[in-house]
Structure 1
Amino acid sequence: MAIWQWAMLALAGVWALQSLGVWLQMRHYADVFKGVTEKYQDGFVGAGNFRGRFAKGTIALLVVTPDMVVRRVMTMSGRSVFTKFKRHEQFEGASLDKIRSNPAILGEGEPGVAEAVRKAVEQIDKARREPGRGPGLSGLKTLNA
């Protein structure tokens, strides 16, 4: 085989490995999100992300009670598909306003974390403002409805 054929074969192999890694990371995200929504039926869940071109990408999950007390804060930050969620227990039990006023306290100098947390808080605020949408999964439409 010619050198260009070996190069194309190597490129296809690397692409297949990347696709497998992305699939595994998406499955991990879906499992964590499903676990959080099943464990906490009341309240609100917000998910935010930050996509950095050359910086680390970040995903933040925030779970709050109906009276806006933080139940769970998790962030996933990194460049690798092997990155996992990290729980921030020190912020659990705090009010959402504390995190809303300073989302950078979670990131400690990482602007991507602060931006992802800010977007998660915005998503929670938007869900609270929607008419007819209560806490939890009550606002979801089912297939039978």
Structure 2
Amino acid sequence: MAIWQWGLLLLVIVWALQSLGVWLQMRHYSDVFRGVTDQYKDGYVGAGNFRGRLAKGTIALVVVTPDLVVRRLMVMTGRSVFTKFKRHEEFEGVPLDRLRSNPAIMGEGEPGVAEAVKRAIEQIDKTRAEPGKKPGLAGLNVARA
């Protein structure tokens, strides 16, 4: 085999490994999101992200009650496809307005965390502003961008 064929084979193997890693991470995200929506049948959930070119990427999930008290706040930060969500229990039971007024309390050293939380809160606000969207028997109102 010529050297260019070995290079091409190596490129295909690396691409396949990357695709597998992305699939695993998306499956983890879907499992966590499904678990949250199955556990809480009322209220709102917002998902925010921050993509850094050289900085770590961040995804935040914020689940609130119908009266806007944080039920669950989970953040996934990292550069690898093997990163997992971490639950931040210290913010559970806090009014959403406190996070809205100062999202930086989440990521004191990491601006990506604050930005992801801010975007998740914006999704919740956008969903709440839509006419006909009320929490309750219809299940969890998933905030979408």
Amino acid of the residue matched to residue 76 of structure 1? Answer: M
- 2:49 — aligned with what? 49
- 1:71 — aligned with what? 71
- 2:106 — aligned with what? 106
Distance apart, 1:41 and its partner CA: 0.5
CA distance in 2, matches of 1:52, 1:38: 31
- 1:133 — aligned with what? 133
Indicate how the Cα distance of structure 1 residues 25 and 69 shifts in structure 2: closer, same or farther if over 3 A, else same: same
Relative contact order higher in (CA < 8 Å, ≥ 6 apart)? 2
Alignment TM-score, normalising by the size of structure 2: 0.93
Give unmatched runs, 5+ long, in structure 1: 141-145
Mapping 1:1-145, distance limit 5 Å: 1-135=1-135, 138=138
Aligned length: 140
CA distance in 2, matches of 1:18, 1:104: 32
Q: CA RMSD in A?
A: 1.3
Indicate how the Cα distance of structure 1 residues 35 and 136 shifts in structure 2: closer, same or farther if over 3 A, else same: farther
Alignment TM-score, normalising by the size of structure 1: 0.93
Indicate how the Cα distance of structure 1 residues 111 and 65 shifts in structure 2: closer, same or farther if over 3 A, else same: same
CA distance in 2, matches of 1:17, 1:73: 31
SS across alignment from 1:107? coil
CA distance in 2, matches of 1:8, 1:104: 45
| Kept in 1: contact 2:41–2:139 (CA 8 A) | no
| Kept in 2: contact 1:133–1:139 (CA 8 A) | no
Seq. identity, %: 78
SS across alignment from 2:106? helix
Amino acid of the residue matched to residue 82 of structure 1? Answer: F
| Kept in 1: contact 2:63–2:70 (CA 8 A) | yes
- 2:143 — aligned with what? none
Deviations 1:81-116 (A, max 9, x none): 000000000000000011001111111121111110
Distance apart, 1:137 and its partner CA: 7.4
Amino acid of the residue matched to residue 104 of structure 1? Answer: A
| Kept in 1: contact 2:48–2:117 (CA 8 A) | yes
Distance apart, 1:138 and its partner CA: 2.6
Indicate how the Cα distance of structure 1 residues 45 and 78 shifts in structure 2: closer, same or farther if over 3 A, else same: same
Distance apart, 1:136 and its partner CA: 5.5
